[in-house]
Amino acid sequence: MAIEFNQSLQSYNSFGILARAQEMLRVTHIEELQTLIRSPAFKDRPRLVLGGGSNLVLTGDVKAMVLKVELKGKRLVREDEKGYLVEAMAGENWHDFVTWTLDQGWPGLENLALIPGSVGASPVQNIGAYGVELQDRFFDLDAVDLSTGQRFRLNAAQCAFGYRDSIFKHGALQQQLIPPLRDSALERPPAQKPLQALTLETQVDGPPIDLGLGLANRALITHVRFFLPKKWQAVLDYQDLQKKCLEHANPSPSAKQIYDWVCAIRREKLPDPKVIGNVGSFFKNPTVSSEQCKDIIAREPSLVHYPLLDGRFKLAAGWLIDACGWRGKSIGMAGVYPKQALVLINKGGFENPCTGGEVMTLARAIQTSVYERFGILLEPEPTVL
């Protein structure tokens, strides 16, 4: 593994922000990574794990050693009467992986089509769209401990998935983690548990390692597995998909049809990062109590909101931003996408890109506007460095 010095990261972040890495390593083989980690030169070095860069805002050059994940490969692990267990390595493109599963006749990921980024980044963010989240299809993953080089496996409960959240987005908390090598049984993983309630017990290929419950930049994901049931059911809860059903007079679309609809909807509403730099939805959709929702509706009857099973309501962050008049506005070369106020864009392109500072100045101004009008503080989705 050769170290690349003073490496430009502009093409490795979907915003197209101009920044450089003092040192960068391309991770193409797990064994080489493990050897590097165990070398004295790597010990105690700050590092940044970089996948597709589709959820990242760079506000300056990166001093940490950048580990650019380029692990490739995908396969069917096994099939039984219940479904298919499929696996992809972390460097695979997410949308290409979704397309491949459907081409093989394994439905289940169609609602997550055209989400930018890599497979390895998908559980970090617990990506989701059109009524489906990654945790709904997730089985387990393999990763490498960046302190020891030891490989370990996490199931869904151990990943502590939340709304656009996971164990990989938080700092360390003390807890013992035991790393497995053998394949898990083809069963659904345990249900999600709160982070503080997790007990990490799995089969091992070596002695226990103490990673903690927060794994931000302490682990590098290498493989992700998904369970796709043969008793497939279409997820059509979102209004955009229901409209497509009516337009096409097709109340029972196939997985491939849903895939095509999702791609069409996303292309109509969201800019292609290859053309206009962006990280997709910049803010999380906030959740509020029933009382808060009623209070806002009394003042704003057109508020877009969705009921949750626990009695709370999820509000459309894009609607809140739009209501504050930010659609199409900009600060410097960072702007709000005219077709979708939830998306911040690089108006200057590759030649005259926005800076991370401009993006965050714009984001903070939007947060202030929304808070002053609605009493809601929007939370950014991407990681800011």
> Is the same domain home to 160 and 290?
no
Q: How far is CA 231 from the centre of its chain?
A: 26
DSSP state, residue 96 = H
> Is the same domain home to 90 and 49?
no
Lookup: tokens for 304 = 């877009």
CATH number, domain with residue 346: 3.90.78.10
Lookup: tokens for 333 = 């070369």
Domain annotation covers residue 209 = yes
Cα(first)–Cα(last) distance of the chain, in Å? 25
**Rounded to an integer, what distance in angstroms lies between the CA atom of residue 161 and that of residue 163?**
7
> Is the same domain home to 106 and 86?
yes
Active site residue: 164, 218, 225, 266, which one? 164
> Is the same domain home to 259 and 355?
no
CATH number, domain with residue 51: 3.30.43.10
Domain annotation covers residue 131 = yes
pLDDT by residue, tens only, the chain of 385 residues: 688 999 999 999 999 999 999 999 999 999 999 999 999 888 878 899 999 999 999 999 999 999 999 999 999 999 999 999 999 999 999 999 999 999 999 999 999 999 999 999 999 999 999 999 999 999 999 999 999 999 999 999 999 999 889 999 887 643 333 344 444 434 433 333 333 333 344 433 555 555 555 898 899 999 999 999 999 999 998 889 999 999 999 999 999 999 999 999 999 989 999 999 999 999 999 999 999 999 999 999 999 998 998 999 999 999 999 999 999 999 999 999 999 999 999 999 999 999 999 999 999 999 999 999 999 999 999 999 9
Active site residue: 54, 118, 166, 281, which one? 281
pTM equals: 0.85
The residue among 345, 122, 301 whose CA lies nearest residue 221 is 122
> In 163-237, which ranges are continuous DSSP H helix?
none
Among 269, 289, 321, the domain boundary falls at 269
Pairing, β 383-384 against β 56-57: parallel
The residue among 122, 363, 133 whose CA lies nearest residue 235 is 133
Residue corresponding to tokens 């590759």? 350
Domain annotation covers residue 204 = yes
Pairing, β 151-155 against β 138-145: antiparallel
Domain annotation covers residue 370 = yes
Say what the pLDDT of residue 196 is: 35
Lookup: tokens for 265 = 């909807």
Say what the pLDDT of residue 74 is: 97
**What is the domain extent for residue 348?**
277-384
> Is the same domain home to 282 and 205?
no
As a whole number of Å, the CA-based R_g of the chain is 21
The residue among 220, 225, 253 whose CA lies nearest residue 70 is 220
**Rounded to an integer, what distance in angstroms lies between the CA atom of residue 225 and that of residue 247?**
35
Asked about 281 being catalytic, the answer comes back as yes
Active site residue: 87, 133, 358, 381, which one? 381
> Is the same domain home to 168 and 79?
yes
Domain annotation covers residue 197 = yes
- Residue 277 backbone phi and psi in degrees, to 5: -60, 135
Between helix 255-269 and helix 94-103 the angle, nearest 10°, is 150
Number of domains in the chain: 4
Alpha carbon distances (Å) from 193 to 155, 198, 209, 374? 11, 6, 21, 31
> Is the same domain home to 107 and 199?
yes
> Is the same domain home to 108 and 249?
no
**Rounded to an integer, what distance in angstroms lies between the CA atom of residue 338 and that of residue 324?**
14
Domain annotation covers residue 354 = yes
User: Residue 223 carries which side chain, given as an amino acid letter?
Assistant: H
> Is the same domain home to 157 and 257?
no
> Is the same domain home to 82 and 188?
yes
> Is the same domain home to 185 and 257?
no
CATH number, domain with residue 93: 3.30.465.10
The residue among 113, 130, 168, 69 whose CA lies nearest residue 383 is 168
Lookup: tokens for 61 = 């050059």
DSSP state, residue 162 = B
Asked about 381 being catalytic, the answer comes back as yes
The residue among 92, 109, 99 whose CA lies nearest residue 51 is 92
Domain annotation covers residue 282 = yes
If you write DSSP's letter for every residue of 42-73 in order, what string do you get?
Answer: TTT--EEEESS-TTEE--S-EEEEEEEE----
Alpha carbon distances (Å) from 109 to 22, 128, 231? 37, 10, 14
Domain annotation covers residue 234 = no
Pairing, β 138-145 against β 219-229: antiparallel
**Rounded to an integer, what distance in angstroms lies between the CA atom of residue 347 and that of residue 356?**
13
> Is the same domain home to 104 and 211?
yes
Q: C-alpha dihedral over 331, 332, 336, 337, to 10 degrees?
A: 160
Lookup: tokens for 107 = 């439905």
**Rounded to an integer, what distance in angstroms lies between the CA atom of residue 201 and that of residue 204?**
9
Say what the pLDDT of residue 207 is: 57
